[in-house]
Amino acid sequence: MTEHIPEAVFWCLSAGLLAVLVLLARQRNVTGNLRRQVLSLEGAVRARDAEAHHLNAVRLPALADVLRHKPATVPGPLDGRLADTGFGHSLEGVVQQFSEAMRTAQARADQSAQGALKGAMRALQSLANEQQVTISEMQERHDDPEVLRDLLQIDHTNSQFGRRAQAIAVLCGSWPGRQRAASSLSDVVRGATSRIRDYRRVVVHGHTDAAVVSQAVEPVVLAVAELLDNAARHSEPNTTVEVQVQPTHNGTAIVIDDAGVGMNDEEIRQATAVLSGARAVDVTRLGDPPQFGLPVAGVLAARYGFRVSVDTQSPYGGVRAVVFLPTNLLTRVGDDAAVPERTRPAAAMPPAAPAPAPGPAAGRHRA
**Contact indicator for 283, 120 with CB cutoff of 8 Å:** no
Per-residue pLDDT of the chain (367 residues; tens, 9 = 90+): 556 667 776 677 777 777 777 777 777 777 777 887 777 777 777 877 888 888 888 888 888 877 776 767 777 777 777 777 787 788 888 888 888 888 888 778 777 777 777 777 777 777 888 888 888 888 888 888 888 888 888 888 888 888 888 888 888 877 776 677 888 999 999 999 999 989 999 999 988 888 999 889 999 999 999 999 999 988 888 999 999 999 988 999 999 999 988 888 888 888 888 888 766 676 666 766 777 888 889 999 988 999 999 988 888 888 999 999 999 999 986 554 444 444 443 334 554 444 433 443 344 446 6
DSSP 349: S
- Residue 283 has phi, psi (to 5 degrees) of -70, -15
Q: Burial level of 287, CB count in 10 A (0-12/13-18/19+)? A: exposed
Q: What is the distance between the alpha carbons of residues 182 and 176, in angstroms, rounded to a whole number?
A: 15
Q: What is the per-residue burial (b if ≥16 Cβ within 10 Å, else e) of 78-88? A: eeeebeeeeeb
Crossing angle of the two packed helices 60-67 and 86-141, in degrees rounded to 10: 30
Q: What is the distance between the alpha carbons of residues 17 and 206, in angstroms, rounded to a whole number?
A: 112
Quick check: bond before 289 cis, omega within 30? yes
Distances (CA, A) of 172 to 106, 167, 175, 221: 15, 9, 9, 18
Quote the pLDDT of residue 274: 86
Quote the pLDDT of residue 356: 39
Quote the pLDDT of residue 364: 46
Quote the pLDDT of residue 222: 93
